[in-house]
Structure 1
Amino acid sequence: MFIDHVHEMFNAAGVPDWVDWFGRPVATIFFFLSVEGFIHTHDQKRYLSRLLIGFWIMQIGNLVVQHFFSLGNFALINNIFGDLFIGVLTMYGIQTISQGRQKHQPSKIWGGIFLIILPLIFAGLMMTVLSANLGGTIWMKVVSLLPNPLLAENGFVLYLGPLLYLLRKNRNWQLLAIVAVALLTTGFNFSTMFTTNFQWLMFLAVIPIYFYNGKLGRSMKGFFYAFYPLHIWILYILASLMGIHY
C-alpha cells in the first residue's frame, strides 16, 4: 500500500510505473478482510460507524491538505474508508433482507433494499449537483461527505466486497470471483495490461487469501486507521514541497 502511494505521488518525478504493480492486490485484500470483520465483529453498527467516521475525517483532511498544498491538476481522492463503508453497508443490507425473509417481515426486506441502494441515491445527488454546474460550491462539499460509488477510490469494483460476502462459505468461489473481477478490469483490452492498466494484478490477492486460516491475528486496528490517511497526506505534502506537478 505504501509503495503504491509512493508511485502515485511521485510518478511525475520518475518513479517507474512497474512500482504500481505491488499495490494492486491491496484493495482486494481490504475487501476480503472487511467481510471477515463484518462476520466476526460483536457490533456491526459500530463497525459501520467507525468506517463512516474514517471516511468523513479523510474527506475533510483531503480538502484541508489540498487547500494549502498542490500537485497541479492532481486531485487527492484517496479514501478507502468510503469503499469499505459502502461495501459493509451493502453486506448489512443483504443480511437484513435475509433476516426479513426468514422471519416473514416485509419491512425488514424493504429496509435492507434501502440500505443497499442508499449509496446509489447519494451518487444520484452528486450527479445532480454536477449537472447543475455546482461543482465548486458548498453543495458539492456537502455531497462529497455522502459516500457513494462515484467518490469511491476503486469505483464500482468496491462491490467485490459484498460479492465475497455472498460467497463467504466457499473460499474457492471467492478466489474465482476475484480472478473474474480482475479480468473484467482489463476491459478485455489485453494490449494495455503492462503499459497503462495494471488493475488486473489485483488477482494476486488470491495468494494470501488462499493461505488465510481464519484465525484472528494481532490487533493493529488503531495503527492502520491512523496510518492510512496520515501516510497519504504526508506523501502528498512532500511531493508538493518538491515542486512536483501533474
Structure 2
Amino acid sequence: MEALFKRFESMKVLSGSTLKLIALFTMMCDHVGSILLSRSELGMTPFLSIGSHGLTLYAVSRMIGRIAFPIYCFLITEGFIHTHDRKRYGISLLIFALISEIPWNLEHSGHLTHPTQNVFFTLFLGYLGICAVEKYKEDTQRLLLSLLALFGISLVLRCDYGCRGFALIVLIYVLRDKKVLQAILGSCMVSSAYAAIIAFIPINLYNGERGFIKGKALKYAFYVAYPLHIFIIYLIRLNTFGYN
C-alpha cells in the first residue's frame, strides 16, 4: 500500500500554472464552439459518423470546453488557501466580474445588456461561500443561512453555471482532503458529468506548486485573458455572422 501511495504521489506533475493554461484553453474552445462554430457550416457539418450520429467540430469544441469550469473552481479554492491577502483576492474577482460583463453581454447578444452574468460572478460568489465556511465553521446556523443567501443570489443573478457552479466551488473546498469523494460528487453536480470526470484527472495530478505564473503581471494577464478573448469572439461574430 505504501509503494502504491508513493507511486501515485510521483504522478502529481501538474503545477497551478499548468492547470490555469488547461482551463484557459478548454474555456476558449467552449466559447468558440458555442458562439462561432454553432453558426458556421464548417462547425455544424459532421466530419465523422458514429452509427447514426455525426460528430461535428461544434460538438467536439463543447465537449472539450466542459472540462474548464471544474478546474477553475479548483483554482479558486487553491487561490483562497494560498493567497496572502484574502480580501484583495476577493476584490480582484469582483473587479474582473464587472470588467467582463460588457464583453460577455456583447458576445452573447450584441447589446450592452444580457439576462445572464459572466462566470467571474460565479467564481466570486463561490469565493464568498468559502469565506462563509471558514468564518462560521463553528456556527452551523449562520453557515447554512449564509450559504443559502449566496445560493439565492446566484439564482437571481443568473450567473454562468448557475447555483450548481456556486455549490461546486464550495464542495471542492469542503472536500479538499477527500479527493475521491470530491471527484464523484463534483462530477454529479455539473450538466456534463463525463467532462467533469475528465477535469478531475488533471486536478488530482496537481503537485501543489505555483509554477511559472508568478508576480502581479502574469497573474492579472491570466485574468485579463477572459474578457479579452470574449470581446475578440464578439468582434468575429459581429463581422462574420452579425446578430440577427
Q: Which amino acid aligns with 2:40?
A: A
Aligned residue in 2 for 1:189: none
Cα shift at 1:228: 0.6
Q: Which of residues 170, 175, 181 is equivalent to 1:173?
A: 181
* 1:207 maps to 2:234: no
Separation in 1, partners of 2:201, 2:110: 38
Indicate how the Cα distance of structure 1 residues 121 and 217 shifts in structure 2: closer, same or farther if over 3 A, else same: same
Query: For each residue in 1:40-99, what CA deviation from the matched residue of structure 2 results, as whole angstroms up to 9, or x when unmatched?
Result: 111111111111111111124444x479946xxxx584622111101110010011002x
Separation in 2, partners of 1:181, 1:79: 19
Separation in 2, partners of 1:204, 1:78: 26
Structure 2 counterpart SS, 1:56: helix
Aligned residue in 2 for 1:39: 81
Note if contact 1:171-1:210 (Cα within 8 Å) is conserved in structure 2: yes
Query: For each residue in 1:109-145, what CA deviation from the matched residue of structure 2 results, as whole angstroms up to 9, or x when unmatched?
Result: 74x5554344345467x5xxxxxxxxxxxxxxxxxxx
Query: For each residue in 1:26-53, what CA deviation from the matched residue of structure 2 results, as whole angstroms up to 9, or x when unmatched?
Result: 0000001111111111111111111111
Separation in 2, partners of 1:212, 1:3: 22
Aligned residue in 2 for 1:5: 31
Identity value in percent:
29
Aligned residue in 1 for 2:159: 152
Q: Which amino acid aligns with 2:80?
A: F
TM-score, normalised with respect to structure 1: 0.69
Structure 1 counterpart SS, 2:208: coil
Q: Which amino acid aligns with 1:154?
A: Y
Structure 1 counterpart SS, 2:125: helix
Aligned residue in 1 for 2:5: none
Structure 2: where are the runs of 5+ without partners?
A: 1-26, 44-57
Note if contact 2:129-2:170 (Cα within 8 Å) is conserved in structure 1: yes
Separation in 1, partners of 2:238, 2:209: 42
Aligned residue in 2 for 1:29: 71
Note if contact 1:93-1:114 (Cα within 8 Å) is conserved in structure 2: no
Separation in 1, partners of 2:108, 2:29: 25
Indicate how the Cα distance of structure 1 residues 26 and 179 shifts in structure 2: closer, same or farther if over 3 A, else same: same
Aligned residue in 1 for 2:92: 50
Separation in 1, partners of 2:151, 2:108: 29
Indicate how the Cα distance of structure 1 residues 46 and 35 shifts in structure 2: closer, same or farther if over 3 A, else same: same
Aligned residue in 2 for 1:216: 210
Note if contact 1:93-1:115 (Cα within 8 Å) is conserved in structure 2: yes
Cα shift at 1:154: 0.6
Indicate how the Cα distance of structure 1 residues 47 and 69 shifts in structure 2: closer, same or farther if over 3 A, else same: same
Cα shift at 1:18: 2.3
TM-score, normalised with respect to structure 2: 0.70
Measured on the aligned residues, the alpha-carbon RMSD in Å equals 2.9
Aligned residue in 2 for 1:194: none
Aligned residue in 2 for 1:133: none
**Number of aligned residue pairs:** 196
* 1:116 maps to 2:147: yes
